[in-house]
Amino acid sequence: MNGVMADARQLGLLGIKPMGAADATGLSADGRSSYYAQRQIARRRSAKKPSKSRKTKRYRLDKWPKINAIIDTHSHLIVAATVNEGPGHDSPQFPALLQQASSRVHFDTLLADAGYDAEEHHRLARKTYGIRSSVIALNPRDQGRKWPKTYYRRQMKTSFPRRRFGQRWQAESVWSRHKRNLGWVLFSKNTQMQEFECQDRIMTHNLVLLALP
C-alpha cells in the first residue's frame, strides 16, 4: 500500500494539504445486503417473544463483513482500512485506521461522522499524528447536553465547520464506486479469508484509480 501512495504522489493525485474522511461500509457473504440484514434485526427486535427458530436465523443474518476506512477526498484512494464483523460500533477501529493512514499520507484535515465521536480521537489525530484539524460530528446521544465537557468536542459544538464537513460525502461516493466496480458480495465464507478478500478489493480499487488517465 505504501508503494501505491508513492505512485499517487508522483501522479499528482494527492494534494499539498490532503483531506481524509473516515467511513464504513458493509458487504455480504451470502448474497443479502447489510441493509436487508439490519431491517431483519429491527423487525425481530420489535417482536415481543421471538421463537427459537428466529434466534437461530438471527445469528446468520446479524453478521456481515464490514470495512472501516480512511479515504483521500480528492483522489478517492483508500489510504487505510480495517476489516471486522458487523454490525458494531465504528469507533474502536479508529486508532488502527489513524496509525495506518498516518504512515502513508500526512493529512491536513480529517473528517468523520458521529460513529467515530470521541475526545481521545481528536487528541490522537492532532497530538499524536500531527493532523491540523479533526472534524468529527457529535454523537446524537449528547444532543440533550448543552455543552460537551471536553475541549475538542466542545469546539465541535460551538463552531462546527459545516462547509468543510460537507466533503465527507466523498467517502460515500468511494463506497458507491467500489461496489459498482467490484460488487458487494464476497466469495469467501470464513472470516479470515473474507478479510484477505476485502484487502484484495481495496488494493484493486486503488490500482484502478492509478491506471485512470
**In this prediction, what percent of the chain has a pLDDT beyond 90?**
66
Terminal CA-CA length for the chain: 20
- Residues (pLDDT < 50) of the chain are 56-61
Give the residue numbers spanning the domain of 183: 2-33+66-211
205: in domain = yes
What's residue 141's pLDDT?
A: 72
- Cα 111 from Cα 85, distance rounded (Å): 23
44: in domain = no
91: in domain = yes
What's residue 87's pLDDT?
A: 83
41: in domain = no
- pLDDT 10s digits, 150-193: 999 999 999 999 999 999 999 999 999 999 999 989 888 888 89
What's residue 104's pLDDT?
A: 96
- Cα 173 from Cα 200, distance rounded (Å): 20
What's residue 175's pLDDT?
A: 95
pTM for the whole structure: 0.83
49: in domain = no
Q: Provide the total of helices (H) and of strands (E) in the chain, helices listed first.
A: 9, 5
- pLDDT 10s digits, 58-71: 444 467 899 999 99
What's residue 30's pLDDT?
A: 72
What's residue 49's pLDDT?
A: 56
48: in domain = no
47: in domain = no
**CATH code, domain with 141:** 3.30.420.10
- Cα 105 from Cα 112, distance rounded (Å): 17
- Cα 2 from Cα 104, distance rounded (Å): 6
Q: How many domains does the chain have?
A: 1
Instruction: Tell me the longest C-alpha to C-alpha distance in the chain.
Output: 60
60: in domain = no
Helix boundaries (H) for 108-190: 119-123, 151-158, 162-165, 169-182
CA distances for 146 relative to 100, 123, 139, 142, 157, angstroms: 35, 22, 13, 8, 9
